[in-house]
């Protein structure tokens, strides 16, 4: 970056280290700098596109939608990234969730973080049983007990119990690989392909419970939070999302461990969340999809990546049209992460991305793109592919009753 450009953007050298808080807007400064642009802080920079391009409002999905990745509840207690209680904290009421669902043509929401035992039973009663056909709940492993003797069999048995209690699949947070340690929150990190989980993965296969698994994170989260980092603003806002340095494995080491685990359990169906968590590298995700027929993906919080490489993405959707599902990571009142806050606006962006060929639009309902300063291009999927992604693939994977077109 030349000195001139640096001055024009008003970025103090220190502000890019992630150690300084960017200065808030200064009205006087803004007014006085209107002629030269001097003094503008990066956080205040909100360029408006001058492109005159069509803007399609997609208020309702063209076909019914199953959102396979939402969070309507979380563990009431957790420490250092490890959920520690079966009890749930509720992020919404079913009634509130149903309002958005009915307006947007969302047939079913899958609440992935349903917990275990009593917490799971509460989640199933509160959502699935109270509103049949609208909500499904996944269970989660007992991470807090993973270091106890007898855990492998205990966890496999728990899967059976969770299945009887109404769980439709297993959710694995990025806790595995990045947070869970030998003494739960202390000691060395537990490996993703640790043998103690083998009976759990096998039980999921036997019970036909798909595993929704979040492994690793965007590539930029493993790099320094510096001026070369394409997600600098996001990491600056959430420094705890950085896995650079310390004792963290690299992104590739995490994905390799995941792949060894996929290979060992061919009868178990895995939904590798967030486009297999390497949407920056669709060639690599494709390689994995080719190698593991038991691997599926969903889109949650990655339309920002898919939408800035629309030609590669379109090919990816065409090639793997039977193994891609609709997901958002929608979290009610998750206002700190605009790319996944459960709202009408969020779904309208996803539908616009999948259904239209609109160009250069925001991937999240916020003034400043929250994950990185770029915009996206619609894929304009065919009706046949759209139906598969919206609901047909999920219906098949979860063994649901067929859904007719609305």
Candidates 191-199, 228-236, 308-316, 328-336 — which segment interacts with Zn ion by CB under 5 A?
328-336
Interaction between residue 329 and Zn ion (CB under 5 A):
yes
Q: Which is nearer to Zn ion, 63 or 326 (CB)?
A: 326
Interaction between residue 305 and Zn ion (CB under 5 A):
no
In angstroms, give the least distance from the CB of 83 to Zn ion: 13
Q: Which is nearer to Zn ion, 190 or 301 (CB)?
A: 301
Q: Which is nearer to Zn ion, 162 or 173 (CB)?
A: 173
Minimal CB distance residue for Zn ion: 329
In angstroms, give the least distance from the CB of 301 to Zn ion: 8
In angstroms, give the least distance from the CB of 358 to Zn ion: 26
Q: What is the DSSP letter of 212?
A: E
Please name which of 167, 164, 251, 258 lies closest in space to residue 216, comparing C-alpha atoms.
251
Q: Which is nearer to Zn ion, 42 or 303 (CB)?
A: 303
Cβ–Cβ < 8 Å for 273, 82: no
Cβ–Cβ < 8 Å for 311, 359: no
In angstroms, give the least distance from the CB of 371 to Zn ion: 14
User: Which contacts of 75-81 are long-range, i.e. CB under 8 A and separated by 24 or more positions?
Assistant: 75/113, 75/115, 75/119, 75/140, 76/119, 79/185, 80/179, 80/185, 81/174, 81/175, 81/178, 81/179, 81/180
Candidates 261-269, 325-333, 373-381, 386-394 — which segment interacts with Zn ion by CB under 5 A?
325-333
- Count of residues that bind Zn ion according to CB under 5 A: 1
Residue 26 to residues 2, 55, 379, Cα–Cα distance (Å)? 25, 33, 40
71: helix, strand or coil: coil
Q: Which is nearer to Zn ion, 329 or 358 (CB)?
A: 329
Candidates 24-32, 46-54, 193-201, 322-330 — which segment interacts with Zn ion by CB under 5 A?
322-330
The whole-angstrom separation of Cα 301 and Cα 165 is: 30
DSSP 349-406: HHHHHHH----SB-SSSSSS-SS-S--B------HHHHHIIIIIHHHHHHTPPP----
In angstroms, give the least distance from the CB of 330 to Zn ion: 9
In angstroms, give the least distance from the CB of 35 to Zn ion: 46
Q: Which is nearer to Zn ion, 280 or 329 (CB)?
A: 329
Cβ–Cβ < 8 Å for 57, 47: no
In angstroms, give the least distance from the CB of 379 to Zn ion: 22
Q: Which is nearer to Zn ion, 328 or 362 (CB)?
A: 328
In angstroms, give the least distance from the CB of 329 to Zn ion: 4
Cβ–Cβ < 8 Å for 268, 241: no
Measure the N-to-C terminal CA separation of the chain; round to a whole number of Å: 53
Cβ–Cβ < 8 Å for 212, 138: yes
Residue 28 to residues 6, 22, 40, Cα–Cα distance (Å)? 21, 17, 11
Q: Which is nearer to Zn ion, 140 or 329 (CB)?
A: 329
Candidates 134-142, 187-195, 197-205, 323-331 — which segment interacts with Zn ion by CB under 5 A?
323-331
Q: Which is nearer to Zn ion, 305 or 355 (CB)?
A: 305
Length, in residues, of the chain: 406
Which residues fall within 8 angstroms of residue 21, CB to CB, at 6 or more apart?
Answer: none
In angstroms, give the least distance from the CB of 332 to Zn ion: 13
Interaction between residue 122 and Zn ion (CB under 5 A):
no
Q: Which is nearer to Zn ion, 172 or 349 (CB)?
A: 172
In angstroms, give the least distance from the CB of 103 to Zn ion: 22
Binding site for Zn ion (CB under 5 A): 329
């Amino acid at each position: 970056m030349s000195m001139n450009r640096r001055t024009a953007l008003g970025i103090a050298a220190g502000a890019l280290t992630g150690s300084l808080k960017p200065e808030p807007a200064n009205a006087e400064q803004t007014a006085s700098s209107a002629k030269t642009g001097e003094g503008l802080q990066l956080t205040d920079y909100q360029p408006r596109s001058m492109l005159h391009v069509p803007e399609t409002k997609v208020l309702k999905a063209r076909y019914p939608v199953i959102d396979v990745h939402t969070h309507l509840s979380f563990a009431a207690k957790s420490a250092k990234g490890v959920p520690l209680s079966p009890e749930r904290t509720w992020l919404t009421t079913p009634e509130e969730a149903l309002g958005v669902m009915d307006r947007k043509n969302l047939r079913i929401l899958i609440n992935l973080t349903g917990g275990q035992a009593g917490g799971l039973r509460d989640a199933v009663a509160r959502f699935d049983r109270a509103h049949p056909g609208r909500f499904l709940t996944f269970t989660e492993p007992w991470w807090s007990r993973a270091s106890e003797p007898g855990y492998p069999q205990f966890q496999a048995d728990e899967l059976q119990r969770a299945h009887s209690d109404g769980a439709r699949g297993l959710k694995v947070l990025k806790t595995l690989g990045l947070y869970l340690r030998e003494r739960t929150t202390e000691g060395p990190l537990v490996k993703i392909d640790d043998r103690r989980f083998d009976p759990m993965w096998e039980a999921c296969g036997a019970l036909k419970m798909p595993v929704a698994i979040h492994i690793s994170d965007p590539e930029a989260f493993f790099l320094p939070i510096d001026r070369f980092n394409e997600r600098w603003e996001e990491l600056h806002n959430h420094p705890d999302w950085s896995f650079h340095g310390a004792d963290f494995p690299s992104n590739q080491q995490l994905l390799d461990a995941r792949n060894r685990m996929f290979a060992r359990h061919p009868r178990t169906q895995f939904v590798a969340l967030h486009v297999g968590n390497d949407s920056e590298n669709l060639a690599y995700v494709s390689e994995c999809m080719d190698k593991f027929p038991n691997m599926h993906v969903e889109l949650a919080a990655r339309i920002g990546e898919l939408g800035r490489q629309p030609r590669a993405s379109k090919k990816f959707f065409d090639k793997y049209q039977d193994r891609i599902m609709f997901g958002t990571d929608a979290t009610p009142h998750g206002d700190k992460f605009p790319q996944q806050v459960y709202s009408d606006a969020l779904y309208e962006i996803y539908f616009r991305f999948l259904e239209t060929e609109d160009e250069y639009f925001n991937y999240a309902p916020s003034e400043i793109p929250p994950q990185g300063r770029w915009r996206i291009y619609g894929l304009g999927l065919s009706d046949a592919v759209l139906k598969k992604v919206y609901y047909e693939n999920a219906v098949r994977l979860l063994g649901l009753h067929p859904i007719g077109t609305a």
